Amino acid sequence: MFRRKKQRLEGGGDTSPPLPASGRLWLLAALALVVLPQLPRMPLWLSAGCVAVFGWRLLHEYRGWALPKKWLRNLLAVGGLVLVAWSHRAIIGLEPGVALLTVMLSFKLLELQRLRDAMVALFMGYFMVVSSFLFDQSMHMGLYLLLAVLALTSAMVALNHPGGSLGHSRHYLKTGGGLLLQSLPLMLLLFVLFPRLDNPLWAMPEEGGQARTGLSDSLEMGSITDLADSEQVAFRVDFDGPIPAASQLYWRGPVLWETDGRRWERIGMRPQREIPVFEVDGLALGYEISLEPSRRHWLFALDLPLQLPEGLSDPVGIRPDMQLLSASELRSRQRYRLTSTLDYRLEPDEPLLWEEALQLPSEPNPRSQALASQWREQGLDDEQVVDAALAMFREQPFYYTRQPPLLGEDPVDAFVFESQRGFCEHYAASFVTLMRAAGVPARLVTGYQGGELNPAGGYLIVRQSHAHAWAEVWLQGQGWVRVDPTSVIPPERIESLDDSGRFEETGPARQLSDGAWLTRLVWQFRSNWDALNHRWDRWVHGFDRHRQQELLRMLGVDGLSWQGMVMAMVAGFFVLLAVVAVWLLRQPRPRDPILRLYEQFCRKLAAIGFERRPNEGAGDFAARVVAMRPDLQRPIRRITALYNRLRYGREGADAQLVAQLKQELRQWRPHRR
């Protein structure tokens, strides 16, 4: 008794069994899968420290390296805490919190001795799987983390198999996979019926993320040209009905008013909570936008939105110039629904914006101002001035090119009268300048035009390469009218047709020749993969309350409140339990092969008059028979000892011992006296 007490004191009170070697290796492999996605997000020295700890533990397993003493482990833990705090300038928060968890989990490997330590590390691994979704909710990350969960579950099976070895790895995987499959019905029940908030579960803000490529709140000739080379996705659009023609797809973004002759900027306007009144001439189009993070405030809408977006957590307002703005920066993917019209008539803006719509710098671009004055001297009204400017771009040798020459001190004059080669912002900025010089109120609108149809998913992909700029002029009796001067350039004066997809139905398919089978195959794979990721984003990552109600309607359940969903979830849980119970009762009880061999031994003894009593242990039964038949002592004790070792010993179902037991039973033929 005193010896056991001393052992408990020396072991810190941990009486759990030691870990099998196979379980330790399975646990190390599973935790490595869990930690791996976190390493690129941490500072280099923290990542290197975690890798070094894993290497130390592997060397302990394969080379017998000694693990650090307790004082050194404590020192390393304190050092890890200090490094995390110093690297992130904080301990509390998404990135520092997950980094600290990663470091502490790695250090836990240095004291991994008993089953209790392993279970703590195992459950920390499960928790880290959840934390990984706070950074990346993509489909490929979901598949990777499913593999990590399978490895963790298989490691749990291996840790609870004392007599196992790496040769049993197939059994561990099969058992772990079976456990995951058994949990699938409950997981689906909770996923479908658990009451949702207005936003998805994983809509966590990105901390300290880098700004994405995209439109800014200003424009300078050449800025959108930089975006033309970017294939990065700006947003994806799912239409409720047919997709309009590419020439009608103007995705409205920042509206620019002030200029110094070269640079255009927005003006301060207070966003409103109601859409300004305007006249609608066409049908309404419903659609949903999945907007990529931009670290900007503006949202994009098909020109022109009829209502404020639905499905966003932060308040959204609309400026008098019809630009949608979010109250906070968009640091994570946003999904929102809109209804827009393509045919509309905007009313004139407030008088205080009238001066802004005619603002021009006093000195730059004198030749452009002289040209506008000449149109007015010819007696042209506002609409005729617009037509005159468009006719100039169409009839004179203006070229559309993504490699325009550098412009001088007066960029509009240099473009209109000298180079006559430019991109969309050259045409839009020059057109607005000419209109204002002629006394026609005008403003410059930036956004995206067109899109790329994904045939595998039936939705539109708008990339940064679709960035565009156009103009709006105010005409008497018509209000604000969109004018796109770039669209009047004849096709023969477009130097690279592939780069001007906004003039036709867009998509990579237009770039493929009939013989480019490899390119076509790559594009098809890319389209299918993007479609799969988009469906994942809509139905898994973006499974909010609106999507939940939509799915329930598809299942024939409409208008279910959150109380009803809770009741349905509880009822479904009990139905699942009942189904599992019935299934288990109908299954034949699996026969233990070791128990089956022992029952054969008992039948042989029963044949000579020794029936095993109910609840009589193997040792007690053997002792009773040997007391009455001493001549059978050796085979009975030998067979009973083999059975006890196989049944209760650390070796488990050792193949050699099983073969020995079978041989003993075959050779032994007891007889009556």
What are the beta bridge partners of residue 251? 302, 448
Whether 605 contacts 628, CB under 8 Å: no
Residues 157 and 236 in one domain: no
CA angle 478, 482, 484 (to 5 degrees): 145
Residues 403 and 321 in one domain: yes
Residues 316 and 376 in one domain: yes
Predicted local confidence at residue 371, as pLDDT: 93
d(CA 432, CA 484): 11
What are the beta bridge partners of residue 473? 442, 481
Residues 441 and 293 in one domain: yes
How would residue 211 be classed by pLDDT, with cut points 50, 70 and 90?
very low
> What average pLDDT does this structure show over 56-83?
86
Q: Does the annotation count 541 as an active-site position?
A: no
The residue count of the chain comes to 673
Q: How many domains does the chain have?
A: 3
pLDDT, one tens digit per residue, over 37-62 is 999 989 888 899 899 999 989 888 88
| Domain annotation covers residue 17 | yes
Residues 450 and 317 in one domain: yes
How would residue 390 be classed by pLDDT, with cut points 50, 70 and 90?
very high
Closest CA to 397 of 484, 483, 490: 490
Which contacts (CB < 8 Å, 24+ apart) does range 614-622 have?
618/643, 618/644, 618/647, 619/644
> What average pLDDT does this structure show over 651-667?
79
Boundary of a domain, candidates 168, 183, 198: 183
How would residue 501 be classed by pLDDT, with cut points 50, 70 and 90?
very low
Range of the domain at 644: 593-667
Predicted local confidence at residue 506, as pLDDT: 38
Select the more confidently predicted residue: 451 or 230.
Answer: 451
pLDDT, one tens digit per residue, over 425-440 is 899 999 999 999 999 9
| Domain annotation covers residue 355 | yes
Is it the case that residue 293 has pLDDT exceeding 60?
yes
- Among 22-36, 379-393, 647-661, which is the least confidently predicted range? 647-661
Predicted local confidence at residue 434, as pLDDT: 94
Cβ neighbours for 207, distance < 8 A, ≥ 6 positions apart: 93, 94, 95, 331
Predicted local confidence at residue 565, as pLDDT: 78
d(CA 523, CA 513): 12
| Domain annotation covers residue 78 | yes
> pLDDT above 90 covers what percent of the chain?
25
Predicted local confidence at residue 11, as pLDDT: 44
Cα within 13 Å of Cα(9), Cβ side: 6
CA angle 202, 204, 208 (to 5 degrees): 145
Residues 409 and 324 in one domain: yes
| Domain annotation covers residue 193 | no
Residues 222 and 178 in one domain: no
| Domain annotation covers residue 602 | yes
| Domain annotation covers residue 256 | yes
Is it the case that residue 514 has pLDDT exceeding 50?
no
- Among 2-6, 40-44, 344-348, 628-632, which is the least confidently predicted range? 2-6
Predicted local confidence at residue 507, as pLDDT: 43
Residues 135 and 271 in one domain: no
Q: Where are the alpha helices (DSSP H) in 491-589?
A: 517-536, 545-554, 562-586
Boundary of a domain, candidates 511, 535, 568: 511
| Domain annotation covers residue 574 | no
Is it the case that residue 1 has pLDDT exceeding 50?
no
Given strand 298-299, what is the order of strands in its sheet?
298-299, 324-326, 316-318
By the 10 Å C-beta count (0-12 exposed, 13-18 middle, 19+ buried), 535 is classed as middle
How would residue 350 be classed by pLDDT, with cut points 50, 70 and 90?
low
How would residue 590 be classed by pLDDT, with cut points 50, 70 and 90?
low
Whether 340 contacts 285, CB under 8 Å: yes
Predicted local confidence at residue 199, as pLDDT: 53
Predicted local confidence at residue 223, as pLDDT: 60
Of 88, 424, 534, 541, catalytic: 424
> What average pLDDT does this structure show over 226-249?
84
Q: If you search the block for the tokens 């699942």, which residue do you land on?
A: 576
Residues 271 and 381 in one domain: yes
Q: Where are the alpha helices (DSSP H) in 194-259?
A: 223-227
CB atoms within 10 A of CB 147: 12
- Among 370-374, 465-469, 568-572, which is the least confidently predicted range? 568-572
Is it the case that residue 12 has pLDDT exceeding 50?
no
Boundary of a domain, candidates 466, 481, 511: 511
pLDDT, one tens digit per residue, over 415-425 is 999 989 988 88
Is it the case that residue 459 has pLDDT exceeding 50?
yes
d(CA 635, CA 601): 11
d(CA 271, CA 316): 8
> What average pLDDT does this structure show over 621-628?
90
| Domain annotation covers residue 556 | no
Is it the case that residue 483 has pLDDT exceeding 90?
yes
**What is the enclosing helix (H) or strand (E) of 290?**
strand 284-291
Is it the case that residue 5 has pLDDT exceeding 50?
no
Residues 321 and 394 in one domain: yes
Q: Does the annotation count 468 as an active-site position?
A: yes
> What average pLDDT does this structure show over 233-246?
91
Residues 439 and 489 in one domain: yes
Residues 35 and 91 in one domain: yes
231: tokens are: 């294939």
pLDDT, one tens digit per residue, over 191-205 is 888 777 655 555 444
> What average pLDDT does this structure show over 557-574?
79
Of 238, 321, 484, 537, catalytic: 484
d(CA 191, CA 540): 9
Query: What value does the mean pLDDT of the chain take?
Result: 82
Of 466, 468, 534, 541, catalytic: 468
